[in-house]
Amino acid sequence: MLSVRALTREFGGVRALDGVDLSVAPGEQLCIIGPNGCGKTTLFNVITAQLPPTRGEVMFGGRALTGLAPHQIARLGIARKFQVPSVFEDLTVTENLEVARFGLPAQAEVPDLPALLRQIQLAERAQVQAGHLPHGARQWLEIGMLLAQAPQLLLLDEPTAGMTGAETLATAALVRRLAQEAGTAVVVVEHDMRFVQALDARVVVMLAGRVVADGRFDEIRRLPQVRDAYLGAHA
């Protein structure tokens, strides 16, 4: 579904992405890990056209995204969560989801609210004001607002930053449920190894702008270059 080919992005002398090849299948879950500055956020920025690539291309559903604007890419079915949550604090959870669905074409196949609330594990807090939600639940609501648009692919950049251990594990469960129930593919950039372990999915390891390993979590964690370069004491 998503296919990134020979993607390179330079900033002056810095090669933030250096010939990245990566494919994501429909409904697949994938974690991208790697040390600070290895190019993870830049990869998302190029996929969603916040930044043009220096070389290489991004294909989605068989078409090249070259030259499209971010909103056009969103309309094709790629939703992205940024690190700063942007929920409407004065509105309830349900109202936030309704706002997010507003403006979709009438014929669009949007998930119904009860299903959405269940997916983001906020069914019991549907009438709570978003401003009163704890940090983790706010992040889930923001994911719900993206899901309200029924994307085929969801990109999450460090969604568990600032979460408690319990919230982090609940977020891994949420991502798994998305693939199972809605068939949504999810690519998650994540530093928290508790999340990566709990998701137990495919893991791509980046180092200095390159993909250095790509496999199941169980295989990846055993690679010496991965242990040394990134996993450290966690492995």
Ligand X SMILES: Nc1ncnc2c1ncn2[C@@H]1O[C@H](COP(=O)(O)OP(=O)(O)OP(=O)(O)O)[C@@H](O)[C@H]1O
Backbone phi, then psi, for 16, in 5-degree steps?
Answer: -70, -35
Of the candidate spans 41-49, 162-170, 172-180, 199-207, the one that interacts with Mg ion by CB under 5 A turns out to be: 41-49
Residue 42 contacts ligand X per CB under 6 A: yes
DSSP state of 86: -
Q: Is the CB of 45 or the CB of 149 nearer to ligand X?
A: 45
Binding ligand X (rule: CB under 6 A), the pick from 33, 38, 117, 213 is: 38
Residue 39 contacts ligand X per CB under 6 A: yes
Give CA–CA dist 46/65, Å, rounded. Answer: 10
Binding ligand X (rule: CB under 6 A), the pick from 29, 41, 48, 171 is: 41
The residue written with tokens 């070389």 in the block is: 55
Residue 14 contacts ligand X per CB under 6 A: yes
For residue 105 the two structure tokens come to 């074409």
For the chain, what's the residue count?
235
Report the relative pairing of strands 202-207 and 63-64 from DSSP bridges. unpaired
Q: Is the CB of 9 or the CB of 221 nearer to ligand X?
A: 9
Of the candidate spans 3-11, 19-27, 40-48, 136-144, the one that interacts with Mg ion by CB under 5 A turns out to be: 40-48
Residue 36 contacts ligand X per CB under 6 A: yes
Of the candidate spans 18-26, 35-43, 80-88, 173-181, the one that interacts with Mg ion by CB under 5 A turns out to be: 35-43
For residue 83 the two structure tokens come to 């690190």
Task: Name residue 78's amino acid.
Answer: I
Q: Positive or negative CA dihedral for 115, 79, 168, 92?
A: negative
How many residues line the site for Mg ion (CB under 5 A)? 2
Closest by alpha carbon to 189, among 81, 78, 111, 117?
A: 81
Q: Is the CB of 43 or the CB of 148 nearer to Mg ion?
A: 43
Closest by alpha carbon to 35, among 208, 188, 225?
A: 208
Q: Write the Ramachandran bin of 115: left for phi over 0, alpha for psi from -120 to 50, otherwise beta.
A: alpha
Binding Mg ion (rule: CB under 5 A), the pick from 16, 28, 30, 41 is: 41
The residue written with tokens 């070259």 in the block is: 66
Q: Is the CB of 38 or the CB of 169 nearer to ligand X?
A: 38
Task: Name residue 145's amino acid.
Answer: M
Q: Is the CB of 9 or the CB of 125 nearer to ligand X?
A: 9
Of the candidate spans 10-18, 106-114, 137-145, 169-177, the one that interacts with ligand X by CB under 6 A turns out to be: 10-18
Residues that bind Mg ion (CB under 5 A): 40-41
Residue ranges binding ligand X (CB under 6 A) = 11, 14, 16, 34, 36-42
